[in-house]
A and B are shown apart, each in its own frame.
Chain A
Amino acid sequence: MATVARPRVHTGPNIPEANIQLPSVETYGQVTDEIRRTLNPTKAWLAGLLLAIAALLIGLGAWMWQVYMGLGVAGYSPPVMWGVYIVTFVFWVGIGHAGTLISAILYLFRAGFRTTIYRCAEAMTVFAIMTAGLFPILHLGRPWKFFWLIPYPNWRLIWPQFKSPLVWDVFAILTYLTVSATFLYRGLLPDFAALRDSERNPLRKKIYGVLSFGWRNSDIEWRHFARAYLFLAAFSTPLVLSVHSTVSFDFAMANTPGWHATLFAPYFVAGAIFSGIGMVFTIIIPIRRWFNLKHYVTLNHLDAAAKLCLFTALIVATAYITEFFIGWYGGSEIEHSFWYNRVFGQWWWAAWIMLTCNTILPLSLFWQKLRRNTTWLFTLSLFINLGMWFERFVIFDPSLSHEFEPWQWTRYAPTYIDWAILLGSFGWFSMWFLLFIKNFPVVAIAEIKEIIPPPLRVAHAVEGIEVTGMHLEFEPETPGERD
């Protein structure tokens, strides 16, 4: 529900506050019309969709070749039996985390700036987990047996081993996918109703009618909706922390140099949120430009999200430093040798891509001008995506190729099959996201109506009526908010 404050006198610059004011959004009708307009397909959107499908088909072709030829075509040879697929799996699971952070955790913290970006971030979460979920299956020699990990009564009389982190992962990822999709759909209910009621095309009206489940915006529905929202956010908050912790246990439970560390759970969670915020920038900056939503997703909102990005980058940097310090200072010859090989030896190039993209470049966000520069934010987000993919590469493959026995030390290089499947995963993710943004509202209609001032018969606030949000006087010189 709306958080409420009396109108107050403007006392100073509002730029650093990153508050929720939307000075160019004045009426409820404007919100419905402008967000509905984003659903009209354009040629650029169609071109993007075709490109995504083409990338997906390349990945699909590579996978079919791998099924036919065997996993050897993906560059696996003992002892390196986990490569690009596990790297990309963890990368996509991590991408999803920012969506839940923005939609659930920031909701509990009443961070108003989330309102305009959370729908995109939530959809990103669902599609990122759908993408991640493919990789354990792609990694199987016999992918048609993937359901053996699910505990159900079967003729084999064999059950999964519940002490295995891989089984925990199955539960964590499936729960995360289901809860994220539920959270997304629940938020869409009132928006489907708004689209149903404003739609003139009978077929689309019917479809939105079915999707809205007959939602009518009544006081009873809103009351229960708000409560369900709170509980789902409360469930999602520990869930998001648990999922990447569980993913980290896949590695930390193994007695492998570089993996066997108690640091892994918080390290993974912070990295996941950091990478997810990077992807949010990659998605939201073009959307606000192409869909003319700059007055919804304002520079203040991007500024606030950039501060969050900087904060998580600092946590990730602390984790890197801790990991390296323990490797150097911990007294284990194996760990020391492994750490040196990772940063200055065989894998130096990957490690320094990671360190540059994830710890050095994000420091630029200490400057407000760069936090409010969308070109820089977008460019930085691409570097973060790259850096976080390499972070997982640096964690997984150097460990497997440099274990305890020197005779086991080897090399690993991804093949064209790996790269094609990686490309296909981006195609799969982009295809679903592009289909989403042209069929469903990318900004939450009902929640925007909550944060703009309600229409009043008497121009000023009257007794018993609260004027929503921090509606400070608008500063015309604030860059980007009127364009």
Chain B
Amino acid sequence: MEGIVGVFRELDSTVGAIEAVKKLKAGNIRVYSPAPRHELEHLLHSGPSVVRRYTLIGGLLGATFGYWIPIWISDYWPLVVGGKVVPSWVPYTIISFELMVLIGSLATVLGLFIVSRIPRITMTVGYDERFSDANFGVWVECPPDRQSDVSDALKRHGAVEVRGER
């Protein structure tokens, strides 16, 4: 992985730089910001997050498991309580609901970790500690022959620091 990273102090400078770099078509762009910003998300034309699939699958599995385990246990040890049928689905809906929430939530966080590619052991290429404090960052993954164009574009739009990394 090789490219150029630019450090910006302002949001509008960052937006201008991203637009300019996109026109160059030099390579993949990654943007860092201290807080989520709609402007950056819209600019990068990011699609819908796939975390929702993990949530859906986790929730369905949880709900199914929540019905299955009490029904199976009721049949395994049939005990009539209050004259109700042995596998009574109404009280088991509470178990099903709780497990839907539990497994759905855990699956959501698992999905967040998987699609965001964390945990991450190393933090080196393209990242700067200022990005979690007050600065914005634009990392452009590009071959050596395009790096000067990218670097010029970032500087022209107000980057306070531009450097190559690999």
Contacts and interface: CB of A to CB of B under 8 A. Distances in A.
Interface in B70-105: 70, 73-74, 76-77, 79, 81-82, 84, 88, 91-92, 94-95, 97-99, 101-102, 104-105
Which of B81, B84, B92, B102 has its CB near the most chain A CB atoms (within 10 A)? B102
Chain B binding surface SS class: helix
B35 interface: yes
Contacts of B77: 157-159
Interface in B130-163: 130-134, 158
A2 B101 contact: no
Interface string A152-180: 00000111111100011001101100110
A222 B118 contact: no
A239 interface: yes
B11 A454 contact: yes
A182 B108 CA distance: 10
Interface residues of A, number: 69
Given A232-B105, A239-B101, A455-B9, A28 B134 contact: yes
A200 to B, nearest CB: 11
A456 B9 CA distance: 8
28 contacts: A159-B76, A161-B79, A163-B82, A163-B84, A163-B88, A167-B95, A168-B91, A171-B94, A172-B94, A175-B101, A194-B133, A196-B132, A197-B129, A197-B132, A213-B113, A214-B119, A214-B120, A217-B33, A219-B32, A224-B115, A225-B116, A226-B49, A231-B108, A238-B97, A239-B98, A454-B11, A455-B10, A458-B12
Contacts, number: 213
A108 to B, nearest CB: 15
B24 interface: no
A151 B35 CA distance: 43
Contact of B73 (A2, A159, A171, A175): A159
Given A223-B41, A455-B9, A457-B12, A231 B118 contact: no
B30 interface: yes
Nearest to A157: B77
Contacts of B49: 223-224, 226-228
A100 B6 CA distance: 39
B31 interface: yes
B112 A225 contact: yes
A161 B81 CA distance: 9
A447 interface: yes
Interface stretch (A5-13, A378-386, A460-468): A460-468
B37 interface: yes
Q: What size tier do the contact residues of chain B reach?
A: 35 or more
B97 A446 contact: no
A236 B99 CA distance: 12
B154 to A, nearest CB: 14
B1 interface: no
B51 A228 contact: yes
A193 interface: yes
A450 B36 contact: yes
B70 A231 contact: no
Nearest to B100: A235
A446 B35 contact: yes
Contacts of B12: 456-458, 462, 465
Which of A27, A29, A163, A221 has its CB near the most chain B CB atoms (within 10 A)? A163
Given A158-B77, A228-B109, A242-B94, 19 more contacts: A162-B92, A168-B98, A172-B94, A178-B106, A194-B133, A197-B131, A197-B132, A215-B120, A219-B41, A221-B116, A224-B111, A227-B48, A227-B51, A231-B51, A235-B59, A239-B101, A246-B94, A447-B35, A450-B36
